[in-house]
Amino acid sequence: MRLCCFNEARLGLVTDDKIVDVTSAIDFLPQHHYPFPNQDLFIANLDALKAKIELVAQKARSFNLDDVAFLPPVANPGKLIAAPVNYKKHLEEAQNQPELHRGNKIEEIQRVGLFLKATSSLIGPGARVKIRFPDRRNDHEIELAVIIGKTANNVKAKDALKYVAAYTIGLDMTVRGPEERSLRKSIDTYSVLGPWMVTADEFGDPSDADLILSVNGNLRQRANTRDLVIDVPHLIEFATKFYTLYPGDVFFTGTPNGVGPVVKGDKIVATISRIGTLNIEVE
């Protein structure tokens, strides 16, 4: 199943070339009062909602893909977790450009660990990436993004994929400079997810997905997730040694080599096999 959020927080079921408005399925979510649970309620209840979504889709209106503005497929993630330098060729690329990483450790992910991006940085491709520091280099990073579906703590890699709800396309936008990653990658609009999520049962094996990113039609990044240094199950094992993952938490799994600068006016096109294509403009 392919699901999106669009326009004024509508819920969409993505079919071949249409988006079916299944927003009324949200009415079946359990009601909560303040303080709300620190997790995404839609993702937490996704398994139970699937049948409702299919039911309401039978009599729902639909939109053309080109006629909607996509929001992130997760509305309220509790955490945006990200893996630095998780492809070997990208590690070599980063270590060969020390001038871009003054003061920042560029080491193996096993030593550096994971970092967090502020949830306030999250947008969907219906919005634009807004450059905050045009005097510095701002880079694109295409990444397979994993949406956690169940509360996960001290999970072993062999069981980890049972905790995944869905996959989507992620852009971990970055301004270069001396500050911590968690600051430089948390600028408003610097975390892009979309255009929709593909549920784990439909997506299948996360260790064999092609990633391609171009800017203004020029190929920049091309890789396959089989080349991840730490694969998706082991990333979940790594993270849950430290903290609990909740439904709706999102994992940016790392970017391959080929990262490069973007400036105002650029058009980024990011494709991941078995998901689709994310188009977004930079301003």
Transcribe 103-158 into DSSP letters: T-----HHHH--EEE-GGGEE-TTS-B--S-TTS-EE--EEEEEEE-S-BSS--HH
Closest among 97, 228, 102 to 177, alpha carbons compared: 102
Q: Which string of x and - marks every residue 139-178 that binds Mn ion (by CB under 5 A)?
A: --x------------------------------x------
CB nearer to Mn ion: pick between 21 and 141: 141
Does position 255 bind Mn ion by CB under 5 A? Answer: yes
Q: Which stretch binds Mn ion (CB under 5 A): 7-15, 113-121, 214-222, 254-262?
A: 254-262
Does position 221 bind Mn ion by CB under 5 A? Answer: no
- Cα-Cα-Cα-Cα dihedral of 214, 218, 220, 221, to 10°? 50
CB nearer to Mn ion: pick between 86 and 240: 86
Query: What is d(CA 92, CA 95) in angstroms, rounded to the nearest whole number?
Result: 5
Q: Which stretch binds Mn ion (CB under 5 A): 8-16, 138-146, 204-212, 266-274?
A: 138-146
CB nearer to Mn ion: pick between 240 and 253: 253
CA distances for 234 relative to 185, 193, 208, angstroms? 23, 22, 15
Interface with Mn ion: number of residues (CB under 5 A):
3
Does position 266 bind Mn ion by CB under 5 A? Answer: no
Q: Which stretch binds Mn ion (CB under 5 A): 189-197, 203-211, 247-255, 268-276?
A: 247-255
**Contacts (CB under 5 A) with Mn ion, residues 58-77:** none
- Which amino acid does the sequence have at 209? A
Handedness of CA 263, 223, 145, 72 (dihedral sign): positive
User: Residues interacting with Mn ion, by CB under 5 A?
Assistant: 141, 172, 255
